[in-house]
Amino acid sequence: MQRVEFDQDSTSAVNPVDDSSLTVEQAIANLHHQDKGLRYYAAWWLGRFRVRIPEAVTVLIEALEDEADRTSDDGYPLRRNAARALGKLGDTRAVPGLIACLDCSDYYVREAAAQSLGMLGDTTSIPGLMKLLAGGCADAIPIPGLPHLAQPYDAAIEALGALDAREAVSLIQPFLEHPMELLQYAACRSMYQITQNPIYGDRLIQALKNEKLQLRRAALADLGAIGYIKAADAIALTLAENSLKLISLKGLLESEVKQTGDTLSADAIRVMDLMDNLL
Amino acid sequence: MIATTDLLAQKLIQAVEEADSSLRLLTAVQNLAQARINAAIPTLIQVLGYNNPGAAVAAVDGLILIGEPVVSPLLEKLDDYNYGARAWAVRALAGIGDPRGLNTLLVAAKTDFAMSVRRAAAKGLGNLHWHQLPPEQVETSLLEALEALIQVSQDHEWIVRYAAVVGLAALLNVTSTRPDWQARIIAQFEQMLTTDDNLAVCSRIRLAQQSN
């Protein structure tokens, strides 16, 4: 029973008490609806509301092979949404289908699959993700007329970091020097996760001072994802929305608390002080 | 001396009114905010409605610095505001802590559709300057804030629940004459620890328990 609403400084917020446009049963049924708009929406909805039930996973896995819904440039909208949703449902039954999507002709399907494989944490996806980086920085150049590179390098790099893929270090490392800052940040994030070397975390702290807001936001997300506790003060001082700083600090806090357990460390308390002041 | 202050105020206000770019507006509002002068109040309030987040943040900071004299004009304008401006006004009221803002914060914490407003209002409800109320109103007002915060501590957004915990923790410190209310807050914390699956919220509860 949920309705989606928009917040002034967050991407979305949900009000679970309100009437909804869909129920779980309807959403699952709608994935076979003849209206492709309803199929597309249902796939998104199942992920958004984390409908972690086997029937939902099953229909979404089927939707990864959808042929009916195509965009004018041969994209697969339903596959994209199904791949995104499966990452959020935490069921590793989706892994083989998502690995197959890494070879899909649609860039956005490959991107969604890479992101979701990073979330699902199954190391069998490492070779497929490494293949996306095969050409290295030489191939990672803008394609005239397209808003993206040849491969979703950032998604693949981040997924490999989340999977702690030591074997991918030599593929990821060159991206630390890629001309696009976003790819450098992705490489820093990933290299930090794999090696725990602070030089990568420190580079992301520097990135919080980038003159472009979009890049400062990316660095906030990366630091939150790696839970780099040394970044706490720098995060609080970044010129960006409080909501994004709070999410980043939440990442630091949770990573700290997971390490220290029930006794709150001085660092955890410091992060909460910073969060209190950003409310 | 007075004449110089007036002249300065006039120049700073004029700079805000004449700003012809987003960056100039931001700088002008920051300068006006830092001057901390009552004459700036109408201009700073007006900036909240400009749909310019950077300038609005600076204006909110300026209004909080001025404090109490801001509350009446802000409350008077509140109803006419568009949504965006109202959200900024709630943040300013929460930051100032004047108890005349209580009703506005109660409504905002419980019903505003933006989580950024609910979270600011929730924190504000814990940090009102209760001693500024007539003594006979203190208890009823505290109880209203307490009940609202207990409700808000079940919000569906983690950050709003986090802010409600911050608010409740602050109330714990000002309700020493009412052990029954303190017991309610403590019980609410205990209950949240068993049901809330958000690690950040639970950590903030543990901090509140630890500092009490």
Alpha helix ranges (H) inside A90-173: 95-101, 107-120, 126-132, 136-139, 153-162, 169-172
Rg of chain B in Å (alpha carbons): 19
Interchain CB distance below 8 Å, A7 and B113: yes
Name every chain A residue with its beta carbon within 8 A of the beta carbon of B115.
7, 10, 13, 243
Cα–Cα distance between B211 and B70 in angstroms, integer? 33
User: Within a 13 Å sphere around the CA of B177, how many CA atoms are in the beta-carbon half?
Assistant: 5
Q: Residue B169: what pLDDT?
A: 97
Interchain CB distance below 8 Å, B159 and A243: yes
Name every chain A residue with its beta carbon within 8 A of the beta carbon of B156.
13-17
- Interface contact B120, partner A, CB < 8 A: yes
Cα–Cα distance between A200 and A161 in angstroms, integer? 12
Structure tokens at B118: 């609910």
- Interface contact B119, partner A, CB < 8 A: yes
Structure tokens at B78: 């509140």
Alpha helix ranges (H) inside chain B: 2-18, 22-35, 41-47, 53-66, 71-77, 83-96, 102-111, 115-126, 135-152, 158-174, 179-195, 199-210
Digit-by-digit pLDDT tens for chain A (279 residues) are: 333 333 333 333 344 434 467 899 999 999 999 999 999 999 999 999 999 999 999 999 999 999 999 998 889 999 999 999 999 999 999 999 999 999 999 999 999 999 999 999 999 999 999 999 998 998 998 888 888 999 999 999 999 999 999 999 999 999 999 999 999 999 999 999 999 999 999 999 999 999 999 999 999 999 999 999 999 999 999 989 899 999 999 999 999 999 988 789 999 999 999 999 999
Chain A nearest CA to B21, separation (Å): 18
- Interface contact B206, partner A, CB < 8 A: yes
**DSSP structure class, residue A142:** P
- B210 to chain A: closest CA residue: A264
Helix, coil or strand: residue A5: strand
Q: Residue B51: what pLDDT?
A: 84
Chain A nearest CA to B124, separation (Å): 9
Q: Residue A15: what pLDDT?
A: 40
Helix, coil or strand: residue B108: helix
Cα–Cα distance between A50 and A60 in angstroms, integer? 13
Cα–Cα distance between B142 and B129 in angstroms, integer? 11
pLDDT tens-digit map of B95-113:
999 999 999 999 999 999 8
| Overall average pLDDT of the B141-163 stretch | 97
Cα–Cα distance between B106 and B126 in angstroms, integer? 11
Partner-chain residue, chosen from A13, A272, A279, that has the shortest CB–CB distance to B120 = A279
Partner-chain residue, chosen from B123, B199, B206, that has the shortest CB–CB distance to A254 = B199
Q: How far is CA A159 from CA A97, A113, A151, B113, in A?
A: 16, 10, 14, 34
Structure tokens at B101: 């803002």
Q: What type of residue is B140?
A: T
- A17 to chain B: closest CA residue: B156
Q: What type of residue is A24?
A: V
Cα–Cα distance between A103 and A79 in angstroms, integer? 13
Interchain CB distance below 8 Å, B203 and A268: yes
Q: Is the pLDDT of residue B177 over 80?
A: yes
pLDDT tens-digit map of B64-96:
999 999 999 999 888 667 778 888 999 999 999
Partner-chain residue, chosen from A9, A15, A243, that has the shortest CB–CB distance to B156 = A15
Q: What type of residue is B153?
A: S
Find which of A272, A273, A274 to mutate to test the B interface (most B CBs within 10 Å of its CB). Answer: A272
Listed by number, the residues of chain B in 182-201 with a beta carbon closer than 8 Å to a beta carbon of chain A are 199-200
Chain B nearest CA to A112, separation (Å): 25
- Interface contact B211, partner A, CB < 8 A: no
Q: Among A160-164, A181-185, B5-9, B178-182, whose mean pLDDT is lowest?
A: B5-9
